[in-house]
Amino acid sequence: MNGIIILWTQDNLWTYFVDGLEPLFWLKAYPSTNRSVCGQSPRPPVSHILGYARVSTDDQDLASQRARLESVGAFRVFADVISGKTFDRPGLADLLDHIRPGDTLAVVRLDRLGRSLRELLEVVETLKKRGIALLSLEEKIDTSSAAGELVFHVFGAIAQFERRLIAERTRDGMNAARAKGSKPGRPALDHDKLNAALLLVKNGLTPTQAAKQTGLGRSTVYREIQGRSKA
């Protein structure tokens, strides 16, 4: 007597006719996490939360920021200690190198991403272009949600507004300088000073020393030396 085996998975149904099988029964296979061999779409990649913490001096403690970021699910926290006038952020650069589209960058406060509005907007624009969500705990911003996505649009509008203000200030400054009789832009190069600097270099001074003695910029002297060596 013929029998029938019906195999049911999450998205597919197979029927087999088997000789010599008395009963008719169902065999149910529960969904598997493995990829189906019959065209089932692969599971989407798992997104992660990466945290970023920053303090201004060595005296400040990163532990409290780390704890808060880990409490919201950050599996790794990148950090920077920035002091003085420089604002190099190797920790943030490393985070942006590791983070992937669909992931979330978490901070305790928005000011951890930049010391000015311009720096903050640059980071936010980078995140938006790469498809990375932003989570700020103090401001309760989560751009991975439908409502939070509006924040990216607001930041984009602010960035565009900031660029227009800078352009207008630049034009106004140039017009004011022309009205006073001055020519805006880089001042003309003093060739007498430049020749004197090149002569000092030829007589054994370093380009830096020659630039300092003649009142020229060091980069100007180096650029002129390289240009003449190639000629």
Location of structure tokens 């022309």: 178
Q: Cβ–Cβ contacts within 10 Å for residue 52, how many?
A: 25
36, 41, 47, 56: the catalytic one is 56
Interatomic CA distance for residues 193 and 223, integer angstroms: 14
**C-beta contacts of 93-99 below 8 A and 24+ residues apart:** 95/50, 95/52, 96/126, 98/50, 99/48, 99/50, 99/130, 99/132
Distances from the Cα of 182 to the Cαs of 48, 173, 192, in angstroms? 56, 11, 22
- Contacts with 173 (C-beta within 8 Å, 6 or more apart), sequence order: 184
For this structure, is 56 an active site residue?
yes
- Contacts with 1 (C-beta within 8 Å, 6 or more apart), sequence order: 20, 21, 22
Interatomic CA distance for residues 190 and 41, integer angstroms: 69
At 193, list the tokens. 């000073």
Which residues are identified as catalytic?
Answer: 56
